[in-house]
Amino acid sequence: MGAGLHLRPPIAQGLVARGRVPDVSDNASQQPENSRPTDSSTVRELEDIPSVEVISRAAVMLMSAAAERLGLADAEPENSPRRDLDEARRLITALAGLVTSSVEYLGMHAAPLRDGLQSLQKAFREASAVPDAPGQGPGEKYTGPVH
């Protein structure tokens, strides 16, 4: 899941506010960002996007952001300038709430999202100078203690 977080240009923000989101199909994502047309051919109506896709995209965004805040994108996570464990805790907790509350709707996407969540929870525990007590780590009130 996801090699990184890819956000759309500012023009897309207005589209989302009107109930439309940029199309991120494989065809559209292979073109350079600045060469994409901004007409309706690259936009999908929110009503056309299945809920599992919306939930999965949100989860991947939370995972990517949490991994960045844990410094996992850098060769030396403990020295990463992006490392912020307080922010990572918030993102992991939000991810845990999302995944836990929507697991029945995720079908085959549930297991990889849970695995990613557990990996982030373990990485957080390893990164902490003083690890949280079992059940007190980020998101553990939703998932239970991570082993």
Least confident of 5-9, 49-53, 133-137: 5-9
Is the pTM higher than 0.75?
A: no
% of the chain exceeding 70 in pLDDT = 72
* pLDDT attached to residue 39: 54
For residues 16 and 27, what is the distance between their CA atoms, to the nearest angstrom? 20
pLDDT at 38 (0 to 100)? 52
Task: Give residues with Cβ within 8 angstroms of 99, minimum separation 6.
Answer: 59, 106, 110, 113, 114, 117
- Per-residue pLDDT, 24: 47
In the numeric block, which tokens belong to residue 142?
């939703």
Least-confidence region, from 1-10, 79-88, 129-138: 1-10
Whether pLDDT at 122 is above 70: yes
**Higher confidence at residue 134 or residue 8?**
134
Asked if the model's pLDDT at residue 10 lies above 60, the reply is no
Residue 56 makes CB contacts below 8 A (sequence gap 6+) with 106, 109, 113
Domain coordinates in residue numbering, the chain: 11-48, 51-143
Confidence of residue 27 (pLDDT cuts 50, 70, 90): very low
